[in-house]
Structure 1
């Protein structure tokens, strides 16, 4: 039956582009804001199409005439759709039971598209989600996909697979994908999605690493249920897709601590996570880095939310509406929980871990709030490679390296009106993390001279001579910055 469903969806065409054509760009943008009305209004004005009927039924969650649904699913038929659990027929109407939508992305592994079946969201339900809700391909799925380094052809573990989105992504290149989840319901969706998209997954039920005890993987990818949820508070729902049942940020800690025993030498684990701040930022950083004992670790914190912001975000995510008593009660439960543990903020971002063959050498935590560019996964891979090469180079050997400015880097100068010299010098990246780094005149001159021809030590000496500065002092000041610029991707080895 899944083969027949796939044929019907392809023929519709039930794609990202096909749905946008069915209800228009404005409606598609509104759906991104969880507003279905423009799409419903546009579908009512337009001539019916297979993509429009299926979109109304399976994305908007709006019942349609049974004959229209049957026409849009000619191979599967209504009986087949009922057997797969997609809908039920009642009084001649097709009533949707799940969400089915196309999902597409382009990354370092190429362009790919799938159909993802999951539980209906709050747009279709018109209210709060049930606790056993299985999420489809949401914003977090896209974020994690964006930061993943290429998986290669090894063995990949998708920890907490949910509806199977990350496992499908990994299966494009991996030799084998093992996908686990504590929820049997989620695994049923993952199995359906794998079959619908012609992918084989090794699906296993259990909590965290329990289903893979004693096994090692070349890559671990996980979008775990990292949301920090009040424990034991009356009326607070424990959503399976986002709440791992741990107090505070214990779930993320457990995922990070367990990665070492399940990675091959050189293996990489990547995850999204939240972590609590109970002291100053340095203490919070050291606590998160400390979870990665025996591993190289690189944490990129993308947001730092105060307790109220965090609570409001996740209460809305569950479907409670701002201004209602329910919303206020849930926010208060979160605030009381944070206050009891002295939490002053919550960090959110992504973590890259690597099992080294020897002692760990990378321990990096950075806060980056600005929008990122394309190719973040490639930037992380390049940063790891640059770090490894630099770890083997003392300053004398680094001075002998020939470097070049990365092709996406530009220099920006800011002047006070009438001044001949710039007040601020900045290097900016156009891709990857799209960092902006302020530099001094000497560093800017050295970077500008890195054209892949001369060793960086000679360039530093030439700039020092030009500025009538001491060469030794200049070298000692510039080379540590050069190291950072190499890891961050502003400079590259030639």
Structure 2
């Protein structure tokens, strides 16, 4: 959107003014910063009344105010105001200058450039609208495994949020998008943030056909609908959840051996069909390990309302009616949203888990997902005999919660749950055998010695109990409730 000299001038203006996440927070204070996140700009405007460069940039790009042209020119210097207007960064207004794009700090060294959302323009979004930083992009960034890799790929990069993060731990970053407008924004984001990416135009994987990557991420146009394209940021042109299925099937040809793909997806909950089997079926024959996590579920009415509001089409009753009629025709009862992580293991018997994880999380998903795959590797490398030869410890903070009701014999335990207060915060209903197994896991004795004690307690031959014990162990290790004493 700007030539190299203009990019350098804009970066100098933003840096010298302190227009960063920390700079804005420090200037506004915690109360005003929190209010801005709720769309309340009153305190922020009071805190920026003196109109120095940082105050002007906050009023202009954060609060969406019109500011006098000479004040904006001073805040953007050394970038000439005419150059900023020619690039569409700001636009003339009846009482001065207004923002023409969303120019948002991303941390303290990056800036993301995108189109203004419908909530700020009051108009329906254009078909080629380019999203800025939002809930979906933040979710994917937090779920990505941040380990050093060689080649990384961002499919459907949009304004470039994921590519920015990839560049911190990848030797090279390739990013694709179907929209030429999105690629212009991404190129501006990259240059302004001091990064260089290989940007390519085309639909999802087409621009990288025949190439392989160590890490692939994607926040694709995953919205479940009839297949028409009204907005490229949300509509893939494929009906239903086919874009998510297509991405799943592309994993073996996109990934290096051991490579990982992580993407956001929506999937249909079809009447008479288990949604878990639907998602798992996308990976049949791929030879990939998979962990698909459902984080949210929406009913058709709520889903259509959400996306029509997002694009500023809330006032179009026909669009709503057509969308709901299509859901009815496809027997779609709900739509799930989640994160899918795929690893190219090349195995005939890969681990495929599809499950719900809708509890509130205190930590980001990325480290938890990476640890889950590490534990899968550990389990896969051991036979039943080796599994029982290991020593185990309970995860830090693991708790046993019991629910009981009063009866003729006093309190009777109805249900027992193993819970983790941190990480993924699992709450797993369990039985007395698993409770006893966890209670004895102090890291001192190998499980085979504990098995002898359990066999005596349950009056069951060790050989018969061994397979059951191994299955319980594997599940608790996978959940991260029991940890092998030797697992780093």
State the TM-score, normalizing by the size of structure 1: 0.89
* TM alignment of 1:321-360, pairs within 5 A: 321=314, 324=315, 326=316, 328-360=317-349
Kindly state the Cα deviation for residue 184 of structure 1 after the two structures are TM-superposed.
0.6
Partner of 2:231: 239
Partner of 1:315: 308
Structure 1 runs (4+) deviating above 6 angstroms are none
Kindly state the Cα deviation for residue 313 of structure 1 after the two structures are TM-superposed.
1.7
* CA distance in 2 between partners of 1:61 and 1:122 (Å): 13
Partner of 1:5: 10
The verdict on how the C-alpha distance between 1:404 and 1:189 changes in structure 2, with shifts beyond 3 A counting, is same
* CA distance in 1 between partners of 2:370 and 2:43 (Å): 46
Aligned length: 475
Matched, 1:306 2:299: yes
Partner of 1:81: 84
Contact persistence 2:224–2:239 (CA under 8 A):
yes
Gaps of 5+ in 2: 1-5
* CA distance in 1 between partners of 2:215 and 2:480 (Å): 23
Contact persistence 1:101–1:115 (CA under 8 A):
yes
* CA distance in 2 between partners of 1:164 and 1:133 (Å): 14
Mean Cα deviation higher: 82-91 or 172-181: 82-91
Select the residue among 232, 252, 269 that pairs with 1:260.
Answer: 252
The verdict on how the C-alpha distance between 1:426 and 1:113 changes in structure 2, with shifts beyond 3 A counting, is farther
Kindly state the Cα deviation for residue 195 of structure 1 after the two structures are TM-superposed.
0.5
Secondary structure of the equivalent of 1:264?
Answer: strand
* TM alignment of 1:183-198, pairs within 5 A: 183-198=179-194
Kindly state the Cα deviation for residue 471 of structure 1 after the two structures are TM-superposed.
4.3
Partner of 1:108: none
Secondary structure of the equivalent of 2:279?
Answer: helix
* TM alignment of 1:390-469, pairs within 5 A: 390-416=379-405, 422-466=413-457
Please give the root-mean-square deviation of Cα atoms over the aligned residues, in Å: 2.4
Contact persistence 2:167–2:173 (CA under 8 A):
yes
Kindly state the Cα deviation for residue 133 of structure 1 after the two structures are TM-superposed.
0.8
* CA distance in 2 between partners of 1:229 and 1:56 (Å): 38
1:411-454 alpha-carbon deviations (Å, 9 max, x no partner) = 33344469566543322223332211122222122213222221
Mean Cα deviation higher: 249-258 or 351-360: 351-360
Partner of 2:106: 103
Contact persistence 1:61–1:99 (CA under 8 A):
no
The verdict on how the C-alpha distance between 1:97 and 1:329 changes in structure 2, with shifts beyond 3 A counting, is same
Contact persistence 1:230–1:333 (CA under 8 A):
no
Gaps of 5+ in 1: 105-111
State the TM-score, normalizing by the size of structure 2: 0.90
Kindly state the Cα deviation for residue 280 of structure 1 after the two structures are TM-superposed.
3.5
Partner of 1:223: 219
Secondary structure of the equivalent of 1:432?
Answer: coil
The verdict on how the C-alpha distance between 1:51 and 1:467 changes in structure 2, with shifts beyond 3 A counting, is farther
Partner of 2:69: 66
Partner of 1:107: none
Secondary structure of the equivalent of 2:162?
Answer: helix
Contact persistence 1:65–1:93 (CA under 8 A):
yes
Partner of 1:200: 196
1:71-93 alpha-carbon deviations (Å, 9 max, x no partner) = 32232241342244311345671
* CA distance in 2 between partners of 1:179 and 1:42 (Å): 36
Contact persistence 2:176–2:200 (CA under 8 A):
yes
* CA distance in 1 between partners of 2:433 and 2:441 (Å): 13
The verdict on how the C-alpha distance between 1:474 and 1:422 changes in structure 2, with shifts beyond 3 A counting, is farther
